[in-house]
Amino acid sequence: MYKSLGVFKDNLNSAQELLTLYDYLAANIKVPMSFDDLLRLHMVQSVSAFDKLMHDIIRIGIVDIFIGARPVTKKYLNEPISMSTHNSLSAATIPPKEYFFEQAIVSKLSYISYQAPDIIADGLSYIWNVKHKWDQIAAAMSMKAEDAKRQLRLIVSRRNQIVHEADIELTTGGKRPIAKNDCETSILFIGKLGEQIVRLVA
């Protein structure tokens, strides 16, 4: 899982480079144009990095349970698999069973976005036998659970405006304003959130 944390940090660093590029262009390109779309892209990439991290650690944790390297959870035991997956597992030798199992998990999770607090908690239930997950996550971040969840919802909502609405304000037809400071605050929160989740469940 710590390898996934490294990938997560690399992805956030790539998003951070967009802010560096934004600063350079804003300071040096003297033309009447906006570079705010770099800030919007930064927001999208930051949330995407977190979503990927959640997919990675949940997948790895589920496979670890399958091979006996991690304690079983109730949600894991209650998760159905298809007959085709069962047949692949039953017949597997090379590649081994866990290969086919992991492919089935990747397919199952591919339809889920791990961005909303409740969905994140539900996904972590596959691998983490702890009640009140957000209480523990928020405490590790020196926050209250509701505050942490509220901040995540605001970041994701802003990301969704960009992705699903082209960040267009319905009443004016123009793009919503976006501030570099908001991007910096968001990436710091997302980075801390991802790191503390990994440290809690690894």
Separation CA 5–CA 8 (nearest Å): 5
Proportion of the chain above pLDDT 70, given as a percent: 100
Proportion of the chain above pLDDT 90, given as a percent: 88
- pLDDT, residue 90, reads 84
How many domains is the chain partitioned into structurally?
Answer: 1
Residue 105 domain-assigned? Answer: no
Residue 81 domain-assigned? Answer: no
Residue 152 domain-assigned? Answer: yes
Residue 94 domain-assigned? Answer: no
Q: Minimal CA–CA distance to 192: which of 154, 143, 120?
A: 143
Residue showing tokens 């866990």: 98
Residue 78 domain-assigned? Answer: no
Q: What is the span of the domain harbouring residue 171? A: 2-73+114-201
Residue 90 domain-assigned? Answer: no
Condensed to tens digits (0 to 9), the pLDDT of residues 28-46 reads 998 888 999 999 999 999 9
Residue 99 domain-assigned? Answer: no
110 pairs with which residues across the strands?
A: none
Residue 109 domain-assigned? Answer: no
* Torsion sign (Cα): 139, 144, 145, 147: negative
Separation CA 50–CA 159 (nearest Å): 12
Separation CA 81–CA 78 (nearest Å): 10
- pLDDT, residue 165, reads 97
Condensed to tens digits (0 to 9), the pLDDT of residues 180-197 reads 999 999 999 999 999 999
Separation CA 158–CA 167 (nearest Å): 9
Condensed to tens digits (0 to 9), the pLDDT of residues 49-102 reads 999 999 999 999 999 999 999 999 999 999 988 888 888 888 878 889 999 999
In the predicted model, is pLDDT for residue 151 greater than 90?
yes
